[in-house]
């Protein structure tokens, strides 16, 4: 995987590649030739938005009262046998996004947060309090990190910074599949997105590093078994 990381970071030099650095060619995996989501690690000290991972008790009676003082949205990602989708639920509009078959659920969760944020940026909000609720702790923790190696997470972070320049932006964790109206609405939109045929080249947001690592591990294990069986 070191060779793949070098390739993603732009430090790959085929003209003097040694045998151990030719692993991407030797394995002959299509996924290694696809656009990658991985980028060189970037450290970002400034996170002007808030990330709240409050417990389930905060949602015991439904949506917290304080959210009614701001603009509140819910986002969700979903993977079904038909594909991967993402959904945005709020006052208006409801958005259903098809993301093809190669995206991961984590990518769907981050991508839909980014789209929700961009929606607000395009509307030119100023001086507002904006709540964006997601049931993906992994996505929220990635955005709260000061270290980024995913292009998708980095793009979402930049969109959040732009929105937070003139607004108070709060990303909040919401328990999934517990009858909370907004979350259920976002889940419905995400499933509708997953059922929507995707038109365009895939992967829609770059192949996740974990997908590549899994594919390489699987290929190496298979080749190892073949060698010992022969």
Which CATH number goes with the domain that contains 132? Answer: 3.30.420.10
Strand blocks (E) in the chain:
38-43, 50-52, 71-80, 83-89, 95-98, 129-134, 147-150, 168-173
Question: Residue 8: what pLDDT?
Answer: 53
Residue 118 lies in a domain: yes
**Quick count: other Cβ atoms within 10 Å of Cβ 54?**
11
Residue 199 lies in a domain: no
Question: Residue 203: what pLDDT?
Answer: 87
Type and span of the H or E element at 194: helix 181-194
* Residue 51 and residue 126 share a domain: yes
How many angstroms separate the Cα of 9 from the Cα of each of 24, 92, 154, 193, 212? 14, 40, 15, 32, 15
Residue 201 lies in a domain: no
* Residue 143 and residue 74 share a domain: yes
* Residue 161 and residue 115 share a domain: yes
Q: Work out how many domains the chain is built from and give that number.
A: 2
| Residue numbers of the domain that contains 90 | 43-194
* Residue 17 and residue 124 share a domain: no
Look at the pTM and tell me if it is higher than 0.85.
Answer: no
* Residue 102 and residue 6 share a domain: no
pLDDT tens track of the chain, all 230 residues?
444 454 555 554 555 555 545 555 545 566 576 889 999 999 999 999 999 998 899 999 899 999 999 999 999 999 999 999 999 999 777 999 999 999 999 999 999 999 999 999 999 999 999 999 999 999 999 999 999 999 999 999 999 999 999 999 999 999 999 999 999 999 999 999 999 999 888 888 888 767 666 555 545 555 556 666 66
* Residue 176 and residue 100 share a domain: yes
* Residue 189 and residue 82 share a domain: yes
In sign, the C-alpha dihedral spanning 6, 34, 82, 197 is positive
């Amino acid at each position: 995987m070191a060779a793949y990381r070098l390739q993603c970071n732009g430090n790959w030099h085929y003209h003097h590649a040694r045998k151990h650095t030719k692993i991407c060619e030797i394995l002959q995996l299509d996924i290694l030739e696809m656009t990658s989501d991985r980028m060189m690690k970037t450290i970002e000290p400034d996170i002007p938005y808030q990330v709240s991972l409050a417990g389930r008790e905060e949602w015991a009676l439904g949506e917290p009262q304080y959210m009614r003082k701001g603009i509140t949205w819910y986002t969700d990602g979903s993977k079904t046998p038909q594909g991967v989708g993402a959904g945005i639920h709020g006052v208006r509009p409801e958005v259903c996004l098809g993301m093809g078959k190669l995206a991961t659920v984590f990518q769907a969760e981050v991508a839909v947060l980014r789209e929700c944020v961009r929606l607000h940026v395009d509307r030119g909000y100023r001086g507002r309090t904006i709540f964006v609720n997601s049931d993906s702790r992994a996505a929220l923790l990635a955005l709260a990190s000061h270290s980024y190696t995913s292009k998708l997470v980095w793009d979402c972070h930049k969109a959040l910074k732009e929105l937070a320049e003139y607004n108070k932006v709060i990303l909040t964790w919401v328990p999934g599949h517990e009858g909370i109206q907004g979350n259920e609405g976002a889940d419905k939109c995400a499933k509708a997105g997953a059922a929507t045929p995707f038109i365009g080249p895939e992967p829609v947001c770059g192949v996740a590093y974990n997908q590549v690592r899994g594919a390489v591990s699987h290929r190496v294990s298979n080749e190892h078994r073949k060698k010992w069986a022969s």
